[in-house]
Amino acid sequence: MRLAEEGNYQDFRNNLRRFVERDVAPHAAAVDREGRPPIEAITAALSLGLPGLPFPERLGGSDGDLFAQVITTEELARGCASASLTITSGWVLEGIVKYGSPEIQELVLPPICRGEMRGAWGLTEPQGGSNLMGARTSAKSDGTDWVLDGTKRFITNAGWADWYLIFARTGEKTFGIFMIHRDDPGIRFGKAEDKMGMRGSPTADVILDGCRVPAGRVVGDPARGGEYIVEMLHNSRLTIAAHALGLAQGSLDEALKYTQERRQFDQTISRFQAVRVMIADMALKVEAARSVLYQAVDYRLRNHPDARRYASLAKVLCSDAAMSVSTDAVQLHGGYGYLKDYPIERMMRDSKITQIWEGTNQIQRLLIAKETYASC
Ligand SMILES: Cc1cc2nc3c(=O)[nH]c(=O)nc-3n(C[C@H](O)[C@H](O)[C@H](O)COP(=O)(O)OP(=O)(O)OC[C@H]3O[C@@H](n4cnc5c(N)ncnc54)[C@H](O)[C@@H]3O)c2cc1C
C-alpha cells in the first residue's frame, strides 16, 4: 500500500489502538489463563461494527476494504491474538458475497454483521491440511437435498459458530462449498482441543454424518468450489499475515518497555549494545514484514499479476517475524520472560501457530518458488 494511501487510514488505526488498549488487551491474560472466548472484547467490538467490516452495507456491513481489514486484524492482535482471531473469524464467509446466491447471502450474513451469529470454515481434514485438494469429505445431491459426510479437523470456532463454510468433494475431481448451520441434522462437534497458544479461540472437529441440507445451501457452482476456495484463501492469507504482524509488533513493544525499565550494572539494559542490536534486528523484521504485507494488499486490490506470490511472501515474513521477535523479546525479559506474569510469554506461545495455519510456511515457500520461476 502506498504510504499516502496508508495515511488515509491513520485515524482509523489510532481509534482502533485506543479501543484495543481500553477494551481488549486488559482481558488477554484472563482469556488465556481460563481458556475461554474473549467475550469482553467481542462485546466491545460490536459497538465498532467490526464483525461486519468486510461485508456490503446492503447486508448490514460497513464495506471496509482489504486494507481496513488488515489494519483491524493487526491492531487487535497487538493486544490479544485470540480476540483478533475471534472477532474477525466471520470474515471467512466474505466469499459468499462474490459467489453465493442472494438468498444465501441474506440468510447468513446480516446476523453475522449484527454479531448475533458467528462463522467458521472447514477445509482441513484428519488425513491432512496441506494437500487441500486431497479432501475426502463428500457432498452428494439426491435430487432435492445435499448430503455431506466427512470430518473437518482443527476448525476454529467449531461448536461455537452458527454457520460453517464447508469444502467438500462433489465429484472425482470437483469440489463444492456448502453453508451448514449448527442445527442442521447430522452435524456434531469433537472435543475442544487443548492448545499451546491461542487458548481463547475454540478449536475442534466438525463431524458431518449424513448431514442433509437444502439444495440452496451450495455456494455458486458445485463443481467450482476448488477455484472459489483458492480465491478466498488469497484474502484470508493476508489477514492471517496481519494477525502475525500484530503479534510481532506487540512483542517488540513489550521488549522496548521492559528494556527501558529493567536495570543492571547501574543502568537500564536498553543502554547495552548487545541489547540494542537485538532490538534493531527485531525492528528490521517487523518493518520488512509490514512493508511486504501492505504491498501485497495493494497488489491484491489492484489485481496485480504478482499478487498471489506477494500474499505468500507476506504470510511467511509476518509469521516468521512473530515467532522470532516474540522469542527474542522473551530473551530480553530474562527469567521474567519465562513467567506468566508478563504478556510476552503468551505472545510467544500464540505466535507459533502463525507459521503453521493457512498453508504452512513450507507450503508457502513452495508456492513462492513456483511463482518466482514462472515469472522469470
Ligand atoms: C489452532 C488451529 C486452528 C486452525 N483453524 C483452522 C480452521 O479454522 N479451518 C481449517 O480448515 N483449518 C484450520 N487449521 C488447520 C491448519 O490450517 C492445518 O493444521 C495446516 O494447514 C497444516 O495441516 P496439517 O496439520 O494436516 O499438517 P500436514 O499437512 O500433515 O503437514 C505436516 C508437516 O509436513 C509439511 N509438509 C506437508 N506437505 C509438504 C510438502 N509438499 N512439502 C514440504 N513440506 C510439507 C508441513 O509443512 C508440516 O510441517 C487450524 C489448525 C490449528 C492448529
319 lies in the same domain as 255:
yes
Q: At what angle do helices 81-88 and 39-47 cross, to 10 degrees?
A: 50
Last residue of a domain, one of 82, 113, 144: 113
Q: Is residue 4 very low, low, confident or very high in pLDDT (cuts 50, 70, 90)?
A: very low
Ligand 1 centroid, distance to 360 Cα (angstroms): 6
Mean pLDDT of the residues in the chain: 96
171 lies in the same domain as 291:
no
Atom of ligand 1 minimally distant from the CA of 124: 11
200 lies in the same domain as 103:
no
Q: Is residue 7 very low, low, confident or very high in pLDDT (cuts 50, 70, 90)?
A: low
What does the pLDDT look like over 166-211, one tens digit per residue?
999 999 999 999 999 999 999 999 999 999 999 999 999 999 999 9
Q: How far apart are CA 249 and CA 254, in angstroms?
A: 9
pTM attached to this predicted model: 0.97
34 lies in the same domain as 83:
yes
What does the pLDDT look like over 349-369, one tens digit per residue?
999 999 999 999 999 999 999
Q: Which is the catalytic residue, given 227, 254, 358, 371?
A: 358
Instruction: Give the structural domain span for 362.
Output: 226-374
The reply to whether ligand 1 has any atom less than 6 angstroms from the CB of 129 is yes
Ligand 1 centroid, distance to 363 Cα (angstroms): 9
- Cross-strand bridge partners of residue 145: 214
Atom of ligand 1 minimally distant from the CA of 201: 1
Do the beta carbons of residue 42 and residue 87 sit within 8 Å?
yes
**Count: domains in the chain:** 3
Last residue of a domain, one of 59, 92, 113: 113
Do the beta carbons of residue 352 and residue 247 sit within 8 Å?
no
238 lies in the same domain as 354:
yes
Enter the C-alpha cell of residue 153. Answer: 479437523
94 lies in the same domain as 25:
yes
86 lies in the same domain as 157:
no
The reply to whether ligand 1 has any atom less than 6 angstroms from the CB of 122 is yes
Ligand 1 centroid, distance to 353 Cα (angstroms): 10
Question: Element (H or E) spanning 41, and its range?
Answer: helix 39-47
234 lies in the same domain as 314:
yes
Amino acid identity, residue 4? A
**Residue 358 annotated in active site:** yes
Q: How far apart are CA 276 and CA 259, in angstroms?
A: 9
301 lies in the same domain as 357:
yes
What confidence score (pLDDT) does residue 6 get?
Answer: 54
Residue 347's CATH number: 1.20.140.10
Enter the C-alpha cell of residue 132. Answer: 487441500
19 lies in the same domain as 82:
yes
Q: Which region holds residue 257: left if phi is over 0, alpha if psi is between -120 and 50, else beta?
A: alpha
What does the pLDDT look like over 39-84, one tens digit per residue?
999 999 999 999 999 999 999 999 999 999 999 999 999 999 999 9
